[in-house]
Amino acid sequence: MAVSGIFRPGYLSVKVPAMSAPARRVRIGIDTGGTFTDVVAVDEQTGQVSTTKTPSTPSDPAEGFIVGVQKVLGQLGLSGDSVSAVSHGTTVATNQLLEGTLDRIGFITTEGYESVLEIARQSVPDGYGNSYFWVKPPRIVPADLVRTVRGRLDPTGAEVRPFDRDDAAAAARFFRDAGITTIGVCFLHAYADDGHEQQMLDVLHVEHPGAVVSISSQVLREYREYERSVTTLVDAAVKPRVGAYVTNIRRRLDELAPGVPFYVMKSNGGVLSASEVVHQPITTMLSGPAAGALGAALIAGTAGFDRVLTCDGGGTSTDVTVVIDGEPTLTTEGRVGDYPSKIPMIDVVTVGAGGGSIAWLSPEGTLKVGPKSAGAEPGPMCYPAGGDQPTVTDAHVVLGRIPPHLLGGEIPLSVDAARGGLEHIGTTLGLSPEQAATGILEISAWNQANALRQVTVARGRDVRDFTLTTFGGSGSLLACRLMDVLGLPRTLVPPNPGNVSAFGLLTVDVRNDYVQTMVTRAADLGPDAVTAAFTTLEEQAAQALDGEGFARDEQRMQRTADLRYVGQAFEVRVPVAGGPLDRAALDAVAAEFHAAHAQLYGYDFADDPRQAVEWVNLRVSGIGPIRRPDLVELAARDGGVNRSVTGTRQVFFDDDWVDTPVHWRPDLGAGDVVAGPAIIEEFGSTVPVHPGFVATVDRFGNLLLTKETAQ
């Protein structure tokens, strides 16, 4: 059977509104993961969608990127001149932090605050069952690379002591002479006024012109000195590598498609031109997971589901998030690796439970899975040049859950090699290879289930109220088991789930976020002052969108504010109306806060006049809207569901081998019902339908997995 990466008509096709553009103009979305680089191209006139995958190239991620572009253009018979825009989701910054491969960084701060990184923030990483309660995060900058400068602002931004240029020059020369070329600057209360930091930047440009510098007032303009310091230093740490990576891709893309607009996905659910991303690299921390959540949100929302859990399973990890009414939830309390990051980002929880996650035995003899991954190089044991440790993919291959190949036969898989690895680990545990494989998948499923609980139960939400949406190359392999573990009513599997993140890149608006700290009790807050502060933030956002080519009448502004009860340490974010604000509008924001607090924590003080409400941060998101593709409905087909059966194979379900029909998903039509046990395959992914489950094809080509008892 011939396999193509190009979708058949009606199979997750999209329609794009007509536009006056040359024939065969395509937009391309590329998501680089730990194992595969996923590519989606949309023809802007016909709506035809083409997809492909290519192995990622960790040693040079730009190589996999360019190969992906060339591959999808080759499928369409087009040249680079036909490309109208490219959007990219990257893990370069994330991987650098997770791997801990940071260059030596210098830190310049206010005199008297040189110990801010050592004081840090209290952390209880694994609950109160530990023998210790306070664990200091590792210092991102050693103490000997911290320098201070005299000068002081108060919390309002008023100058208490002037900036000392002699101290600043001495600090700059110290780092120049020590060969430190990456520097972060964070002065006390710079969120209120950036004057001293701008002067420090001027000094560095004169005394150490080769340095890469990040200043806190340009990275995170809100209070809390530790988080602001670390976020600024993380931005500085990843800036050289992200800058080099984006510049390299821009150069190579220009060789293929000169001058084509090139956007990079941000953690906040928007994109930004590559030329701007190099100046704010920290915004790309959760680039890929954010794109996947947005793509899944569009697909699930079109299918009629407004409360969705997204589960993006890749080769290295699984990313989960919550989508309500089409919008993924946002947070500023994220972290990547060991370091907190206060930038706005989609609330993603990541767990090391991907297809390449390695199964291993602890010193106590307990079976563990992940977080270490075989990745793309060398890959699982079943790969042609695979590693020497069994992985989740090896377990699926041995149990027959996936075919002995990937990408329609492009990558052959060795069942014998995978079985050999499982026999070794099974012998140690006294298990058969099938039992060892089943145990590996069970642990992986529970790891994913716990991540899903973190974004639901831990946030005050009932997991059973949501539809699970699985995607990514490995995201749907454990869908039936997750439904059992969590009591989920259904799972939606989009067509071509392995490319949903790349597809999501084509649905994303340009977006920039701005914040201003304004710690004031609600009773003391003047509507005019709040309106003025929001107006200032909106003008900053508008100027940035001007530079991205959006006319003022196209731009949209979203206001939010962080509120808390006086005495609390953390805030709850709520929406704020646009335009001039009056006292009634401020009271409405407080009412929203009480309701949101009750949803998150189970109580509020709305009726207690003794408990004051406090405003903390004002936020504005400036949005430049793009034209989103519309999903096209899938037609019904004659001949019954057996038309899609390509054969049978032995699959291990429920402690026994079962002769299981294999369906080719592109041959399914709207309304078809596939009863388990069954395997549904397509070019880039596989869906095992367990006994007792059924998969129904909806009018958009999605598979809806439910239990037979719920039919």
Supply angle C-alpha 217, 222, 224, rounded to 5. Answer: 115
pLDDT confidence of residue 11: 36
Q: What is the mean pLDDT of the chain?
A: 88
pLDDT confidence of residue 681: 94
Assign a CATH topology to domain 509-624: Dna Ligase; domain 1 (3.30.1490)
Hey, what's the torsion of the CAs at 511, 517, 518, 521, to 10 degrees?
Answer: 100
Q: Which two tokens stand for residue 618?
A: 């004002």
Supply angle C-alpha 619, 625, 626, rounded to 5. Answer: 145
Q: Are 67 and 125 in contact, with CB atoms under 8 Å apart?
A: no
pLDDT exceeds 60 at position 126: no
Class for domain 14-96+242-284, per CATH? alpha beta
Residue of 199 and 384 predicted with greater confidence: 199
Please tell us whether the domain made up of 102-240 is placed in CATH 3.40.1360: yes
Q: Which of 663, 664, 665, 670 is nearest to 631 (CA)?
A: 670
Q: What Å distances lie between residue 39 and 16, 33, 263, 534, CA to CA?
A: 18, 11, 14, 39
Cis peptide before 162 (omega within 30 of 0): no
DSSP 289: H
* Dihedral over Cα of 51, 52, 56, 61: its sign: negative
Residues carrying CATH 3.30.420.40, the chain? 14-96+242-284
Query: How far is the C-alpha of 661 from the C-alpha of 676, rounded, in Å?
Result: 9
pLDDT confidence of residue 127: 46
Q: What Å distances lie between residue 88 and 48, 166, 544, 610, CA to CA?
A: 20, 44, 20, 50
**Owner of token pair 């239990």:** 707
**Owner of token pair 């489950």:** 693
Query: How far is the C-alpha of 77 from the C-alpha of 282, rounded, in Å?
Result: 37
The predicted model gives 437-459 an average pLDDT of 93
Give the residues across from 38 on adjacent strands: 31, 53
The predicted model gives 464-481 an average pLDDT of 93
pLDDT confidence of residue 134: 57
Most confident of 111-120, 477-486, 676-685: 477-486
pLDDT confidence of residue 385: 84
pLDDT exceeds 90 at position 633: no
Q: Which two tokens stand for residue 47?
A: 């709506």
pLDDT confidence of residue 124: 55
pLDDT confidence of residue 6: 31
SS (H, E, C) 596-640: HHHHHHCCCCCCCCCCCEEEEEEEEEEEECCCCCEECCCCCCCCC
Residues carrying CATH 3.40.1360, the chain? 102-240
Q: Percent of the chain, pLDDT > 90? A: 58
Question: What pLDDT band is residue 17 in, cutting at 50, 70 and 90?
Answer: very low
Tens digit of pLDDT for each residue in 127-176? 444 444 556 778 899 999 999 999 999 998 999 999 999 999 999 999 99
For residue 188, what are the contacts with CB-CB under 8 A and spacing of at least 6? 109, 110, 113, 152, 153, 225
pLDDT confidence of residue 210: 92
In this predicted structure, which of 324-338, 343-357, 359-373 has the lowest mean pLDDT? 324-338
| 699 CB burial (10 A radius; 0-12, 13-18, 19+) | middle
Element containing residue 296 per DSSP (H, E): helix 287-302
Cβ neighbours of 312 (radius 10 Å)? 32
Pairing of strands 26-32, 83-89: parallel
Residue 247: what residue type?
T
Residue of 224 and 47 predicted with greater confidence: 224
Question: What pLDDT band is residue 301 in, cutting at 50, 70 and 90?
Answer: very high
pLDDT confidence of residue 670: 93
Q: How are the residues of the chain apportioned to helix, strand and coil, as percentages rounded to the nearest 5?
A: 35, 30, 40
Cβ neighbours of 528 (radius 10 Å)? 11
What are the φ and ψ backbone dihedral angles of 311, each rounded to 5 degrees? -135, 105
pLDDT confidence of residue 43: 83
Residue 660: what residue type?
T
The predicted model gives 337-358 an average pLDDT of 83
Query: How far is the C-alpha of 164 from the C-alpha of 678, rounded, in Å?
Result: 72
pLDDT confidence of residue 132: 43
pLDDT confidence of residue 135: 66
Residue of 688 and 121 predicted with greater confidence: 688
pLDDT confidence of residue 327: 84
Q: Are 705 and 490 in contact, with CB atoms under 8 Å apart?
A: yes
pLDDT exceeds 50 at position 13: no
Tens digit of pLDDT for each residue in 61-84? 889 899 999 999 998 889 888 998
DSSP 103: P
pLDDT confidence of residue 5: 33
Which segments of 433-515 does DSSP mark as H helices, in order? Answer: 433-454, 479-486, 500-504
Q: Percent of the chain, pLDDT > 70? A: 94
Query: How far is the C-alpha of 415 from the C-alpha of 44, rounded, in Å?
Result: 42
pLDDT confidence of residue 710: 64
Residues carrying CATH 3.30.1490, the chain? 509-624
